[in-house]
Amino acid sequence: MANFQPLNKNKHQALKVKLDPSYSHSAQSHIVPISVFELPQIQAEYPIVFIKDAETGRFHLVALLGLRPQENLFHKKDDWNALYIPQHLSNYPFLLSASPQQPDNFVVGIDLDSDTVSETNGEALFSDNGEQTKYLAQVTENLVRANSQLDATQNFIQTMVEKGLLASQSLTIKPANNEEFNVTGLYSIDEAAFNELNDSDYQALKGKGFITAIYSCLFSTQRIAKLVHLTES
Amino acid sequence: MNNGIINQVVIVGGGTAGWLTAAKLAKHLGSNKSESVQVTLVESPDISTIGVGEGTWPTMRKTLADLDIEEHDFINYCNASFKQATKFVNWKTPAINGQDSVYYHLFNSIVNADEFNLSPYWSMSDKQIDYADFVSPQALVCDNGFAPKTILNRGYDGLLNYAYHLDAGKFADFLKKISCERFGVKHISANVVSTNLNILGEISSIETKELGQIKGDFFIDCTGTRCLLLGKALGIEFTPINDILFTDNAIAMQVPYLDENEAISSSTISTAHAAGWTWDIGLSNRRGTGYVYCSDFVSHDQAEQTLRDYIGPRAEQLSTRRIKIASGYRKKFWEKNCVAIGMSAAFVEPLEASAIFLIEASANMLCELFPRNKKQLPAVEKTFNDSFNYRWKRTIDFIKLHYFLSQRKDAFWLENKSINSVPDSLIEQLEHWKHRPVSRYDFQNTFEPFIQDSYQYVLHGMGYAQELESNASTFNQHSMVDSILMKNEKFKQHLQKNLPTNRELLTKVKAFGFQKI
């Protein structure tokens, strides 16, 4: 279980974070949330889908890491099977959360239970005189950027739903050397519906800068073959 | 008169009947464009709606979807909940040693009876499990207070078929807003004092106290039991059916939940008592309950006590409201340029929640056959009257069936079994069903109000005896039956694992709504 605590330079001055090229905290995750701004990079390596949150029924935009629950086909012993790492993974063990005292302010949190966090190994967060290191400054900048993209991602999802551009997708996967199985609960951009948009709806999407994102989603479905291939090897 | 073209429709009376008809008709006719037929609804500011029946049929989902209404908007505004059945308690027999007799009339069967009928196979089985459990997973779902779907399903989709319980007053308000804002219905608040006829005996206008004359080409009477247009102005008589269905009064009580976690029932609970039956309908914010009874067999005070006893200690501080009911129907529902929809057309006790369904059905037929030219009126009048005459009679038969099959011995119940109170059509059918299963050929009309499955839930639930043994060799598709039963059991397990309770889902619907896809 994760144990995120607000980062505090007095309490946490000695902490170090080891870079983990295998992102092992995600070893049991078959999906990772992504931002609408990441889609061009994501689509080159991961299938992009929309899934519903089991608690709320609302959509999330995610990259598929595996085809079955708890299956991560990208995670390897000391490596990761792709060049681009989704922000949500690369930002770990940090996250940005609302300050308990001032909900309008954000604070950097750190998962103290992460294997990458110690006082012995890795990148220091604070210098000996308590200043934040370049590393921590970069981490903070990344978190703030990711956070600033959340609204745009929500807006993208909502627009796709409202314009009727999402369709439920059911996949039947037949690995060469194994039994076939079904993947359900996925939603993807409906190419036919997208092509049938009237001019004013299309212009509205263009105005919001969503065209690249939509094509990224469409192209990314080709990456499902890559995942099937990974399940075979 | 404009060459007999119908351009102005006037609906008199709000309530569920008026506003549902207004919404459907205005949407259908495209009334928000000025060149289309215009729909005006005149509603009295002084007469409150009666709010008949707070239960619907599954048809309501299509009705709402067709009106471009988001399911969660409707549910949240009308304090609606999900209804999957009517649960009949102590109808077959009174409670024995404190043990209620219970059966379900469900909305969902594992296979529709007109495709493959499991009924004879259950009849000839050892009947260790109830008929409803044999043919459907839904009784189990209702027993657990589960919803018919999850937050992952989109609006109006379900894992099981379902309808709603709703606050009829709020529902009328909700439809009023939508009718006026989206579909171009004009709302006039005024009291109708009289009706003017033209030389052909058609209604030409109504006179209102506040705004004088309101003209129209076609009129819809939604004035409830007062039946101002069809009855009072056009003289169409009322046919009472108190020789068939005896209940003549209802006493109603709104019961709050004990706390925000108390379970919300997945079914309408209909419990038989000495001189009638109680309804118990769980909305999201309160229960609506009432006792429908015949005052020949019980005093009003006794009736109130029966209701209070049924509710239990929490009824102590709660007030009741008594409503006189008169079951029956108009000799015609459509006369010249006027049609009656809702309680102005007919009323039967709300045992099977047929009231709102028949409003939907009437409005649908009116929309599709809407006579744009007065020349069409006589033909539409005949089609409509024939159809609804049939539907109301079938509805009455079906309600009577519940009483007729009861084994209760109270005077009221025995009287209900007296043969001269039972329509011949019902006696005839029951005679057939003694020797053969109910058949899809018994339901040849496209617009049967109650389908084969419904009859079978009631017949078997009430323990109607069928003699099928002599024809046992006919029912030989045992491997088919086994595979359906296995599917049913698997589905039961899946649903038990995945469905939230009614209350849990309604809380989520309030917070998050359903997605469009």
Distance (Å) from the C-alpha of residue B62 to the closest C-alpha of chain A?
Answer: 19
Judging by beta carbons within 10 Å of its beta carbon (0-12, 13-18, 19+), is residue B255 exposed, middle or buried?
middle
B138-158: per-residue pLDDT in tens?
999 999 999 999 999 999 999
Q: B152 and chain A: CB distance < 8 Å anywhere?
A: yes
B72 CB neighbours in chain A (<8 A) are none
Q: Give the helix/strand (H/E) hosting B252.
A: strand B249-256
- The answer to whether B515 faces chain A, any CB pair under 8 Å, is yes
3-state SS class at A154: helix
Which of A55, A57, A167 shows the shortest C-beta gap to B515? A57
User: Per the CB < 8 Å rule, is A54 touching B516?
Assistant: no
Strand (E) or helix (H) holding B289: strand B286-293
Class of the CATH domain delimited by B248-324? alpha beta
What is the C-alpha separation between A182 and B251, in angstroms, rounded?
54
Edge-first strand listing for the sheet containing B192-197: B192-197, B203-208, B212-215
Give CA B437 to chain center in angstroms: 26
Q: Is the CB of residue A126 less than 8 Å from the CB of residue A136?
A: yes
The label of the residue with tokens 């999900």 reads: B82
Which one, of A85, A90, A114, A89, lies nearest residue A7 by Cα?
A114
What are the structure tokens assigned to B453, written together?
């499955």
Q: Give the span between the Cα atoms of B497 and B142, in whole angstroms.
A: 14
Q: Is A185 within 8 Å of chain B by CB?
A: yes
Rounded CA-CA distance A96/A94 in Å is 7
Average pLDDT over residues A76-100: 92
Residue A111 C-alpha from the chain's centroid: 17
The alpha helices in B30-116, defined as continuous H runs, are: 59-66, 71-77
Q: Do A166 and B512 touch (CB under 8 A)?
A: no
Cβ A52–B515 below 8 Å, yes or no?
A: yes
Q: Which residue has the tokens 């009580």?
A: B253
DSSP B134-203: HH-SHHHHHHTTB-SS-TTSPTT--SS--EEE--HHHHHHHHHHHHHHHS--EEEE--EEEEEE-TTS-E
Query: Which segments of B24-84 are extended strands (E)?
Result: 38-43, 81-83
- Interface size between A and B, measured as CB pairs under 8 A: 34
**Structure tokens belonging to residue B446:** 């496209």
Q: Which of B512, B516, B517 sits opposite A56 (nearest CB)?
A: B512
Contacts of residue B517 in chain A, CB cutoff 8 Å?
161, 164, 166-168, 187
Q: Which residue has the tokens 């750190």?
A: A110
Give the mean model confidence (pLDDT) for residues A204-230: 95
Name every residue whose Cβ is closer than 8 Å to that of residue B317 and which is 6 or more positions away in sequence: none
ipTM of model over 0.90:
no
Residue B44 pLDDT > 60, yes or no? yes
Q: Which residues make Cβ contacts (< 8 Å) with residue B183, sequence separation at least 6?
A: B22, B23, B26, B27, B31, B32, B39, B67
Q: Among candidates B343, B386, B380, B340, which has minimal Cα distance to B363?
A: B340
> CB distance from B497 to chain A under 8 Å?
no
**Inter-residue contact B449 to B395 (CB < 8 Å):** yes
Enumerate the β-bridge partners of residue B425. none
Q: Which residue spans within B346-397 are E strands per DSSP?
A: 346-347
Instruction: With CB atoms and an 8 Å threshold, state whether A58 touches B515.
Output: yes
Sheet holding A117-118, edge to edge: A117-118, A16-17, A123-124
Report residue B179 as tokens.
């009718």
Q: Which residues contact B37 (CB under 8 A, 6 or more apart)?
A: B6, B7, B8, B9, B29, B31, B370, B372
Average pLDDT, stretch B76-102?
97
| A57 reaches B (C-beta below 8 A) | yes
Q: Does A194 touch chain B (CB under 8 A)?
A: no
Amino acid occupying residue B124: M
For chain A, the farthest-separated pair of C-alpha atoms sits apart, in whole angstroms, at 61
- pLDDT at B1 exceeding the cut of 60: no
**Residue burial A154-184, b: 16+ Cβ < 10 Å; e: rest:** eebbebbbebebbeebebebeeeeeeeeebe
B130 with B142: CB under 8 angstroms?
A: no
Residues of B in Cβ contact (< 8 Å) with A161: 515-517
- Interface check for A176 against chain B (CB to CB < 8 A): the answer is no
Angle formed at CA B40 by CA B39 and CA B42, multiple of 5 degrees = 150
Give the residue on B whose Cα is nearest the Cα of A157. B515
DSSP codes joined into one string, A159-176: HHHHTT-EEEEEEEE--T
DSSP B233: I
Does A21 lie at the interface with B, CB-CB under 8 angstroms?
no
Q: Rounded to the nearest 10 degrees, what angle do helices B15-29 and B168-182 cross at?
A: 30
B51 pLDDT above the threshold of 60: no
- The amino acid at residue A35 is S
Q: How many CB atoms lie within 10 A of CB B300?
A: 13
pLDDT of B2 reads 58
- Taking contacts as CB-CB distances below 8 angstroms, the residues of chain A near B71 are none
Contacts of A56 in chain B (CB under 8 A): 151, 508, 511-512
Angle at CA B274, nearest 5°, toward B268 and B275? 80
Q: Does the CB of B498 have a partner CB in chain A at under 8 Å?
A: no
Q: Does A49 touch chain B (CB under 8 A)?
A: no
Picking from A56, A162, A167, the nearest residue to B151 by CB comes out as: A56
For residue A93, whether the previous peptide bond is cis, meaning omega lies within 30 degrees of 0, is yes
Lookup result for tokens 């050892």: B126
Residue B505 C-alpha, separation from nearest chain A C-alpha, in angstroms: 10
Q: How wide is the angle at C-alpha B139 spanned by C-alphas B435 and B310, nearest 5°? A: 100
- The SS3 assignment for B88 reads strand
Name chain B contacts of A166, Cβ cutoff 8 Å: 517
- Is residue B103 within 8 Å of B406, Cβ to Cβ? no
CB-based contact, B517 to chain A, within 8 Å? yes
Determine contact: A158 vs chain B, CB below 8 A: no
Instruction: Name the CATH topology of B8-54+167-238+328-393.
Output: FAD/NAD(P)-binding domain (3.50.50)
From residue B377, alpha-carbon distances to B3, B221, B369, B385 in Å are 14, 16, 10, 12
Residues of chain B contacting residue A157, judged by C-beta atoms under 8 Å apart: none
Are the CB atoms for A44 and A27 separated by under 8 Å? no
- Asked if the Cβ–Cβ distance from A185 to B152 is below 8 Å, we say yes
Domain residue spans of chain B: 8-54+167-238+328-393, 248-324
Nearest CA in chain B to A188: B517
Average pLDDT rounded to a whole number, residues B95-109: 96
CA-nearest of B8, B4, B15, B6 to B345 is B15
Nearest to B514 among A54, A57, A168 (CB): A57
Cβ–Cβ < 8 Å for A183, A9: no
**Is residue A20 predicted with pLDDT exceeding 60?**
yes
Annotated catalytic residues of B are: 83
Average pLDDT, chain B: 95
Report the alpha-carbon distance of residue B59 to residue B67 in Å, rounded.
Answer: 13
Confidence of residue A134 (pLDDT cuts 50, 70, 90): very high
Closest CA to B280 of B121, B127, B483, B54: B54
Give me the residue from A59, A167, A185 closest to B515, CB to CB. A59
Q: Which residues of B touch A55 (CB under 8 A)?
A: 151, 508
| Binary contact (B152, A57; C-beta < 8 A) | yes
The per-residue pLDDT of chain A, averaged, comes to 93
Alpha-carbon distance of B115 to B201, in angstroms, equals: 49
Q: What is the pLDDT of residue B477?
A: 95
Mutation for A interface: B68, B72, B150, B152, most A CBs within 10 A = B152
Query: For A54, which of B152, B513, B516 is closest by C-beta distance?
Result: B152
Contacts with B511 from chain A: Cβ below 8 Å: 56
Cα–Cα separations (whole angstroms), residue B103 to A114, A228, B25, B112, B401? 56, 50, 38, 19, 15
| Predicted confidence (pLDDT) at residue B50 exceeds the cutoff of 70 | no
Which of A51, A52, A53, A186 to mutate: most B Cβ within 10 Å?
A: A52
- Give residue B97's pLDDT: 94
d(CA A102, CA B328): 66
Residues of B in contact with A52 (CB under 8 A): 151-152, 515
pLDDT at B3: 75
d(CA B158, CA A208): 34
For A45-106, give the DSSP string: TS-EEEEE-TTT--EEEEEES-SSTT--SSB-SS-BS-S---HHHHTTTEEEEE-SS-TTSE
Pick from B45, B254, B79: which is nearest to B168 by CA? B79
